[in-house]
Structure 1
Amino acid sequence: MCGIFATLSRSLDAVKVTLSHLKQLEYRGYDSAGIGVLHDKQFIISKNVGATDQLHVDHLPDHSNTAISHVRWATHGVVNTKNAHPHLGNEACIVHNGIIENHHELIQSYQLKPKSDTDSEVIVLLYEQLKTLGKSPLETLKHTVSLLKGSWAIVLIDKTLPETLLIAVNKSPLVLGTCEDSYFVASDPHALAHCAKQVHYVNNHQVLQISLQSQTVLDELKWQALPVNTSNTSLEMDFYLTQEIYEQPLVLQRCLKEVLPELSKPQQIVFVASGSSYHSALMAAINFEAIANIPCRVFLSSELKYMKISWQSNTVLIALSQSGETADTLEAVRHWKHDAFYVLSICNVMESSLTRLTQYSIVTPAGPEVSVGATKTVSSAAFQLHRLAFQWANIEKPLDFEKNIAHTKLALTLHNSIKKLAQRFVDCEHLYVLGRGCFYPVVMEFALKVKELCYLHAEAFSTGELKHGPLALIEDGTQIIFLCFKKLNFEKTLSNIEEVLARGGEATIITDTSLPIMTRPVNTLKLPFEIEENDVYGVL
C-alpha cells in the first residue's frame, strides 16, 4: 500500500499544496517519499528514504501548476532513493500504487531497461516505448495499462501535455477532487480535506486525462460532495496512535446513536476480512453464534478469493475493511457476491470501493484513522456487528452497551500503569499472549499490533491450547501475557499460568479480580471493572 497525491492548478502553488497533503497519507507508506514537478517543460524531482518532512525541497520551483507525489511501502526492491517514486523517463514521470505482476515479462518482451528494482518503473518505460507508435498520450496510457497485469493507481505527467495529468486505475483506489480552477488526485478522500469541495471516485479500468485547458472530460464525471471529516478535534495529542486509542469511547458512543439498517436475518453468515478487520470478524462471529444462533464461518480475504466453498441458501456475506480499499477483500467479494443472499460491508469510509460494491453497508463513524495500527476502527466494527447480532436475535433488552463504553473509559485511566508494565517487554525477543473464548481474537489483535508497531515477534494462542504446542516454546525468561477473568474459566486459566511458571516463564496477568498466591511471582494489571461474557471493548 502506497500513497499518492497530485495537484493541478493555475492559482495555487502545486508544490506547497502537494507536500502538505502528502503528509496526511504517510500512514500508507513510510519507507520513502518523493515529489515530481513539471516546470518550464522540465521535470524537477526530489525523493529520499524516510518521511515527507525529510524531502529536500529548496531546489523546487516557488510556483508551478503541476506536481505529483508519493509515499512508498516497499513491495519490489529494497528501501533506497533509487527505488523511491516518482519514476522518470525521457518525456514522462509517474507515481504508482499497486503491484504489476507481469513486470518481468514486460521487461523481456519489450527489452526495457529499468534503472530501479521496482515493478513500477516498467510503466513509464513501456509508456514511452508505445508512444513512439504515434498515438496521443491518453491513447498511449490506455495501451500501456492494457498490457499490465495486477493492480494500479497511476498518475502520469507528460512533457508534451502542459497543465495536464493522466490517471489510470485498476484495483487500487484513486480519488479526483476539484475546487474552482484546481484539481487534486489522492489515494484517500480524507487527504483532500481543505482543498477539494467535490470528488469523483475513479472506477476500475478508467483512464482519464485531466487538463486545465479543457472541461469536456470533467463534465462527464460523477461528482459528489467531499465526505465530512468526523474526527474528534477535541482531542489533540502528540501521536496519531495515542489520539485514536483515546477516541474510542467517543467513537463507540457515536456508534450507539447510529441506526442500523433493517436487513433480513440470514440462515448463515460468511465473514471475509484481512488483518485487524479479520479479528473484528472473529469477535463478531462469536456474538452471532451465541446471541442470534446463526452459524458463522470466517475467512481471510487472501484465502477466500481462491477457495471453493459450499453456500447454503440465505447465506449472507459480510465483508470488513477499515479503508474499504483492501484489494484481497474486494476481489473476494467480487468473486462470491453472486452466491450470497446479499452482501453487507462494514467500513469506515463512505463511498469507498467496498461500499460501492456491496448492496448494504454499515459505515462506522470513527473518523479518519491515520496511524498504521488500527484501533478505533477495530472496536467500532466489532461494536456495530455486536449490535446487529442483538437486532437479528430480536431481543428487546440487549446488552448494556453504555456499560461497555464506560469500561473503555475506565481502561484508559490505567495509562501510567500500562506504560510502566510495558517496560518489561522492551528487550524481549519473543512475546506470547493467551486468551480464551471471545478474548482469543483480542489477543490475536494485540499480537498483531506488537508486530507491526514494535517490530517484535509476538504470537497469540488460545489459553486452552497451551499444551498443544505452545508450552514447548516456554523456557527461562520467556514473556507471556495472560487474560484471566473471574467469570471466564478463572480456575482453568490459573492452572495454565502455573504450567508456564513451572517451566521458567515470566507471566504478566491482566485480570479483574484478586489472584491467589502463585508458586512464583507474577506481574499483574488489575482492571477497574469486572468483565462479563463478550465484554471485550475495555480490554481491546
Structure 2
Amino acid sequence: MCGIVGVKGIENPQNFLIEGLRELEYRGYDSAGIAVIDNDGLKVIKAVGKLKNLEVKLKNVTFKNPKLGIGHTRWATHGKPTEINAHPHTGKFSAVVHNGIIENYQKIKKELEKENIEFISQTDTEVIVKLFEHFCNGDVFEAFKKTIKKIDGAYAVLLITEKAPDKIFFAKKGSPLIVAKNGNKFFFASSDAPLIGYADSAHYLEDSEFGYIDDDIYLFKDGKKITPNFKPLPDNRESAKKGGYRFYMEKEIYEQYDVLKENTLGRNTKEGIKFDEVDKNFFEGINNIIISACGTSYHAGLVGKYLIERSAKIRVNVEVASELRYRNPLLTKDTLFIVISQSGETADTLETLKMAKKAGLKTLALCNVDNSSIVREADKTILLRAGIEKGVASTKAFATQVMTLWMLSNYLADKNEYEIINKAIESTKVNPKIHEKIKRLSKRYLHGHGFFYIGRDIFYPLALEGALKLKEISYIHAEGYPAGEMKHGPIALADPELFVVALLSKNILFEKTKSNIEELVARDATVLTISSELIELTDDFIQISDSNHPMIEFFEMMVITQLLALEVAIRRGNDVDMPRNLAKSVTVE
C-alpha cells in the first residue's frame, strides 16, 4: 500500500517528508524516496528497504533554501523493489510520485520511445514524468493537463518541475489524495496521519480533480475551476491512522477492496495472469504441489487446493506446517513446495520450507513481507501486497492469499478470468446496510454453547476461517465443518443454543447444502444463512448479491463472516485488535 506526501511553504521540507512517510510506514513498503527543489534545482534521494536507509543517504545531501518537495513509500507492483524502480521517478527536469496503476502505460511508453525518449525503470509511473516533459514546451500547467488527459487508470499524482519551481501539481482518480493547509503552508498526503500537527484543515480530493498549489490552491474539475471544500482535520494521529474506524481490524476489513486491487495490479490483465516474480519455466516437470501453512494461511491453502486441482489438474496436498515438519513425508522432486505466511517469519512454516529445500524441491513463497526469512529462503516469491496488518486476527492478508492462489490457478491452467476476478474484488466493498444488519444481529449470538460454520467445496475452508475469526476475537467456541459431515456426529449437538452460520452458494452444490441446513433446522438449531437465494426457514438471513461464479460469492461471504466476528467481539467488550493469548507473528513452535 504505497504512501504519498508533499509540502510547500515550510522550512526544511525534507524533514516533513521523512516524518510524513514515517506516519505511513504502517501501510507497508519496500522502498522510499523524496524529491526536493532548492536553489540548485531538483534533488532526488531514494533507497530500498526501510526509511532509515533513506535517512542515512539524506545526511550526505546539502540543501540550499529548499522550497518544496514530494515523497513516496513504494510497495512493488510493476518491477522489483529496486532503487531504480523506487519513486520519485524523474525526467530531465521533473519528478513525480504516484499511487495506483496506469493501464495504458505500455502504449504510451512505445509512443514515447519512437520519439527517442528513454526509460530506465520497469514501472508504469515513469511514463507520467516522461510524457509531461514531452508536452512541456510552453505553459507548464497545460502540459500537466495534457498528461492527465492522456493516462488511463487509477492514480494519485504529485509532480514538481524546475520549469515551475514554486508549484506542486496534483491529480486524483481512484486512489486517495488529500490537500491540506495551515495559513500559507500547504501539504499533501494519501491519508490523514502525516498531516496532523502541521495542517489545520483539509480538502479530500474527489475523482477527476486536479490542479496545483502556488500562493494558493488552484483546483479544477471537468475543465472548470472549483472551490475546495476544506474540513477540520482530526486532532488524534492514532485515530487518523484508523481512518475513523473503531478498530484497526474494522479498517482492514473495509480496506480489502483497495488491497485486492493492489494485489492484482499488473497481474490480472486482459491477456491473462502475469507474474513478474516467476515464469512458466519454473513449473516445468511439476506433477504435484504441497502447500504448507498455519492457521489462516492454512485455510487459504485449502481454497487454493480446490482452485488449482479444478483448473490446472495438478494434485495438491495442503499440510499443517507444525505436523508436516515432524512427519518424515515423502518429498519427490516433481513436487512444487508452496509456503504461505503473512509475516514471513512463521517458525513451523519456515522449517518445512528448509526441509523441502534440503530434499531438492522447487519452492515458492506467498508472503506479505519482503526480505523476511521465508522470502530469503524460498526459490521464488509472490508478494501479497496487503500492507501492514495491525489487527492480530488476519483479514486482508487472508483475502490476498486466496486471490494470489486464484490467480496462480489461472496461470497454471492458462485460464483467463479477468472480468470475474474484478467482479470478485468489487464484491468486497462493504455494504453499509449489511454491516448495520450484522451489528443488530450480533446481539443474538453472544451466548449459547458454540458455533458451527458450515459450507461445501471452497466454502468449507471459508467456514473454517469464519470460525477461526470468531474464536480469535470473541472467545466463543466455534468450529468449521463440511456441511455434509454434520450428520456424521456433530449434529448431536444441535439445539436452540447451538448457533450455525451456513454458507450457501448458489453456484456449488446448492440443493445438497440446503438439505444439510434443513437437517439442522429440524433439530432446532439457531441458523444464520448467508446466500443470494432467500431461505425463509432459517432464523436469520443475510442476502449477498446474485452472481454466476462461486469466487464472487466467496469474497462477499468472507467479508460478512469477518464483520460478524467483529461485531460479536465488540458487543462482548473485547479488544478486537489485540485478542488475549495471541501474537501477530508466531516465531516459535
Instruction: Pick from 508, 512, 515 the counterpart of residue 488 of structure 1.
Output: 508
Instruction: Pick from 481, 499, 502 the counterpart of residue 461 of structure 1.
Output: 481
C-alpha deviation, 1:478, in angstroms: 1.5
1:244 aligns with 2:252: yes
Q: Which range is displaced more, 303-312 or 231-240? A: 231-240
C-alpha deviation, 1:499, in angstroms: 1.5
Instruction: Pick from 384, 394, 405 the counterpart of residue 364 of structure 1.
Output: 384
1:508 aligns with 2:519: no
> Partners of 1:273 and 1:480 in 2: how far apart?
27
The secondary structure found in structure 1 opposite 2:415 is: coil
Partner of 1:316: 336
- The verdict on how the C-alpha distance between 1:180 and 1:387 changes in structure 2, with shifts beyond 3 A counting, is closer
1:256 aligns with 2:277: no
Partner of 1:539: 557
List gaps (5 residues or longer) in structure 1.
1-20, 26-174, 183-196, 198-222
Conserved 8 A contact 1:273-1:320? yes
Conserved 8 A contact 1:411-1:528? no
1:528 aligns with 2:535: no
Conserved 8 A contact 1:247-1:376? yes
> Partners of 2:452 and 2:555 in 1: how far apart?
21
> Partners of 2:519 and 2:294 in 1: how far apart?
33
> Partners of 1:363 and 1:412 in 2: how far apart?
31
The secondary structure found in structure 1 opposite 2:550 is: coil
C-alpha deviation, 1:224, in angstroms: 9.6
- The verdict on how the C-alpha distance between 1:530 and 1:413 changes in structure 2, with shifts beyond 3 A counting, is farther
> Partners of 1:531 and 1:345 in 2: how far apart?
31
Instruction: Pick from 312, 318, 336 the counterpart of residue 298 of structure 1.
Output: 318
- After superposition, residues 327-338 of structure 1 pair within 5 angstroms as 327-338=347-358
The secondary structure found in structure 2 opposite 1:346 is: strand
1:422 aligns with 2:442: yes
Report Cα offsets for 1:62-105 as digits up to 9, x if no partner.
xxxxxxxxxxxxxxxxxxxxxxxxxxxxxxxxxxxxxxxxxxxx
1:272 aligns with 2:279: no
The secondary structure found in structure 2 opposite 1:460 is: strand
Letter aligned with residue 327 of structure 1:
A
> Partners of 2:519 and 2:418 in 1: how far apart?
38
Conserved 8 A contact 2:424-2:551? no
Higher relative contact order (CA 8 A, sep 6+): 2
Partner of 1:354: 374
1:477 aligns with 2:493: no
- The verdict on how the C-alpha distance between 1:412 and 1:243 changes in structure 2, with shifts beyond 3 A counting, is same
- The verdict on how the C-alpha distance between 1:338 and 1:224 changes in structure 2, with shifts beyond 3 A counting, is farther
Partner of 1:442: 462
C-alpha deviation, 1:439, in angstroms: 0.6
C-alpha deviation, 1:392, in angstroms: 0.9
The secondary structure found in structure 2 opposite 1:337 is: helix
Conserved 8 A contact 1:272-1:278? yes
C-alpha deviation, 1:488, in angstroms: 2.2
Q: Which range is displaced more, 491-500 or 279-288? A: 491-500
Partner of 1:40: none
Conserved 8 A contact 1:407-1:529? no
Instruction: Pick from 277, 281, 287 the counterpart of residue 307 of structure 2.
Output: 287
C-alpha deviation, 1:429, in angstroms: 3.2
Partner of 1:109: none
* Pairwise CA RMSD: 3.7
Letter aligned with residue 529 of structure 1:
D
TM-score (norm 2): 0.52
Report Cα offsets for 1:123-159 as digits up to 9, x if no partner.
xxxxxxxxxxxxxxxxxxxxxxxxxxxxxxxxxxxxx
> Partners of 1:291 and 1:492 in 2: how far apart?
23
Equivalenced residue count is 338
> Partners of 1:443 and 1:406 in 2: how far apart?
21
C-alpha deviation, 1:528, in angstroms: 2.5
The secondary structure found in structure 2 opposite 1:451 is: helix
C-alpha deviation, 1:512, in angstroms: 0.5
- The verdict on how the C-alpha distance between 1:366 and 1:514 changes in structure 2, with shifts beyond 3 A counting, is same
Letter aligned with residue 456 of structure 1:
I
- After superposition, residues 64-213 of structure 1 pair within 5 angstroms as 179=55
> Partners of 2:525 and 2:435 in 1: how far apart?
25
1:388 aligns with 2:395: no
Letter aligned with residue 341 of structure 2:
S
- The verdict on how the C-alpha distance between 1:249 and 1:397 changes in structure 2, with shifts beyond 3 A counting, is closer
- The verdict on how the C-alpha distance between 1:496 and 1:396 changes in structure 2, with shifts beyond 3 A counting, is closer
> Partners of 1:533 and 1:448 in 2: how far apart?
21
> Partners of 2:527 and 2:449 in 1: how far apart?
15
> Partners of 1:279 and 1:477 in 2: how far apart?
27
Letter aligned with residue 262 of structure 1:
D
Partner of 2:579: none
> Partners of 2:417 and 2:547 in 1: how far apart?
20
Letter aligned with residue 538 of structure 1:
E
Letter aligned with residue 524 of structure 1:
F
1:377 aligns with 2:397: yes
C-alpha deviation, 1:502, in angstroms: 2.0
C-alpha deviation, 1:427, in angstroms: 2.3
Identity among equivalent pairs (%): 32
- The verdict on how the C-alpha distance between 1:299 and 1:397 changes in structure 2, with shifts beyond 3 A counting, is closer
C-alpha deviation, 1:463, in angstroms: 0.2
C-alpha deviation, 1:531, in angstroms: 5.7
Letter aligned with residue 253 of structure 2:
I
Letter aligned with residue 542 of structure 2:
L
- The verdict on how the C-alpha distance between 1:529 and 1:397 changes in structure 2, with shifts beyond 3 A counting, is closer
C-alpha deviation, 1:415, in angstroms: 1.1
Letter aligned with residue 256 of structure 2:
Q
Task: Please identify runs of 4+ aligned residues in structure 1 that moved more than 6 A.
Answer: none
- The verdict on how the C-alpha distance between 1:428 and 1:291 changes in structure 2, with shifts beyond 3 A counting, is same
C-alpha deviation, 1:399, in angstroms: 6.2
The secondary structure found in structure 1 opposite 2:555 is: coil
The secondary structure found in structure 1 opposite 2:452 is: strand
Conserved 8 A contact 2:311-2:413? yes
Report Cα offsets for 1:438-468 as digits up to 9, x if no partner.
0111010111111111111111111011111
Conserved 8 A contact 1:350-1:363? yes
Letter aligned with residue 448 of structure 1:
L
> Partners of 1:399 and 1:393 in 2: how far apart?
17
